[in-house]
Amino acid sequence: MTRICVSVCEKTIDALESAAIRASESADIVELRIDCLTRLEDLKPVLNRISCPVILTFRPDEQGGHRVLDHQARKLFWNSAPQTEWWDVESDLALETDWSRIIISHHHFSRVPEDITQIYEQLAATPAHVLKIAVQANDVVDCIPVFQLLDRARSEGRDMIAIAMGNAGLATRILGPSRGAFLTYAALEEENATAPGQITAQKLRSVYNVEQIDRETMICGLAGQPVMHSVSPHMHNAAFRTAGINGVYLPLEVHDVKTFVERMVHPRTREFDWNLRGLSVTAPHKSSVMEFLDWIDPTAQEIGAVNTIVVDDDKLLGFNTDAAGFIEPLLKVIDSLSGLRVAVIGAGGAARAAVWALLRQQATVTLFARDVAKARSLKQVFDVSYEPLSSASFADYDLVINATPLGSGELIEQVPVTAEQLHGASVAYDLVYNPIETRFLQEASKAGCRPVHGLEMLIAQAKNQFELWTGQTPSMNVMSDAAVAALDH
């Protein structure tokens, strides 16, 4: 059973009641965070308005709560607290109560503690009905001990909530119920999340199809850093749903790619059982991941970057769908690239795929980079000329391509070149897709260039990835609609 618990944290009793009523419309369980109230008041009127089971929580600040509460203050609260389906109580309290409705909990907000197994055993030694451990994940591999605890609790017949908090722990929130978690927590709105990495109940259901996930679900994901801005989960999960495939696609925040592949990905070495079938790979791991794969497609070898991994029995196969995805939108606006003068701004993984594809189309390519050393390295691979970006002018170029991350995420206000530099160029292509209308394309519009949007490349390369993982061709319209809706949101 998949239970979604929406956690509500408000400063006033009226706001708590309003939020709890709205939460009960989308939740299986509502958690009332009483520690968030600035003044404790009678909760019975609020409880009478909630149409689903309730967890009552009175969290001290050292366990992530909003109040400084000593042991005695918490004991006094619980001795007079109203009866609800569940009470969430910290492990240091020994209450004289009905333990069949107690969730006994432990939180760690900086990392996964080394003694997490001992913490589990201490909680399991109590008569509490549900055990709860929530720890901070700083890398996706921090999810491993959380999944292992869920497996252990299940084998021992104990109900458990185990969560890795933070963006790197999102997989535990989405996959937890399918691995036996008693519930998974969600926010009413993401800006009101009560714990790091908490997403809304609506997103759990509509994007990740959490209620349909089981132990047989095919798992794919996006490995990189950062990944939470990506619309790829929206595209691939919509495509899975439309195709009738039991699959889910997750953002996986990976800092150490070697450790990630060894401990979570490779069938011969991974430390827990999950039906991982494929990965998208994004910055900064497209080149560094290659040494940990068993086989690499010749195209990806020539480019020097892998953006797609297929798990095939006990082997990892590497592919590059960026190059084909990059060219496809261009050929819709330019009949032939042969002989055209093309400027590529950047010298990273995206630039490598672009340069390789352009040379295959017999274009004449010049690299422009802030880091001249990286451009020089790329020249040695592809034998293209390069120039410093700082003094670049593109008046003599047919096509200018932004293959840097400037214009997206934390760099959204930055632009690699100005309209003045772009004046005279014919076509401008931004590989950044979020936002759809980037600063680079705005500058290009001022210069009179014809735009090509990065979202078109994203969808084209994602289609190829989906085919590699599933053997089926997804609906491009479904992928496009899902991506645009996510970006609009």
Residue among 44, 286, 315, 446 flagged as catalytic: 286
* Cβ(109)–Cβ(165) below 8 Å: yes
**C-alpha distance from residue 486 to each of 36, 188, 238, 241, 482 (Å):** 31, 18, 11, 16, 6
User: Is 286 among the catalytic positions?
Assistant: yes
Q: Please identify every residue annotated as catalytic.
A: 286
